[in-house]
Amino acid sequence: MRVFFYNWISLLLLMIPGWHSSFAQQIPLNHYGLPVVTSAALYQQQVAADSNQQLVDVPRYIPGIRTDVRYATTHNFTQQVLYPHPRVLLRLPAAKALKAVQQQLSAQGLALKIFDAYRPYAITEKMWTIVPDDRYAADPRKGSGHNRGVAVDLTLIQISSGDTIPMPTGYDDFTEKAHYSYHPTDIAVLANRALLRRIMEQHGFTALETEWWHFYLSDYQKYPLLDLGFDTFR
């Protein structure tokens, strides 16, 4: 029955619009039956077939964008260093959309600060052991938009000072105050959160209702799950 289920999942993947059939056929299934790219050679084959599959270095692609990669430090909810490098990587279409967001914000004296982008699948598994709650951590039985390279965690800053503008909570606050259903009493905070969501959605991102900082491309299914180290990417 399990083999039948896994084969059925593979068949469904082939039917997803935009999913390159050869990708689905080549990608090995993990212990949950999910296709996860674990080979740098396979990743390069996918990029050669479709340049949109490429992960790009966001700070190089968007000059001036700020980063604060908490998972490359102990200053995160796990209190562990999860990333060997504070790198920010996204698939090319996500990086292009984010560049347009940054350009639009600059006219208002604002800019983006990124906390996280591409995340290897193995890190998602580790996070789930600490916070097994799919409101705040991705269930490894499904994978994450971060694992696909099309999700990003971010906030807004003032260009002039570099200061983060007020939001309902800090990053990775796993309480209902991080939800969009929460209504802060401070009108400015409410407006800041609404601005971030509005401009991200204008450029093709979808908001996660339980984390005001998390956005992902709505066509995320076009991009396979990845479990490749940061050194894989130039």
DSSP result, 164-221 = BPP-SS-TT--SGGGSTT---S-HHHHHHHHHHHHHHHHTTEEEETTEEEEEEETTGG
Report whether 227 belongs to an annotated binding site: no
201 is catalytic: no
85 is in an annotated binding site: no
Write the CB contacts of 189 (distance below 8 Å, at least 6 apart in sequence). Answer: 166, 167, 168
Look at residues 231, 61, 82, 88 and name the one whose alpha carbon lies nearest to residue 149. 88
The catalytically annotated residue of 176, 201, 209, 211 is 211
Count of Cβ atoms closer than 10 Å to residue 138 Cβ: 21
User: Does the annotation flag 50 for ligand binding?
Assistant: no
Catalytic residue set: 211
Show binding-site residues for Zn(2+). 146, 153, 214
Show binding-site residues. 146, 153, 214
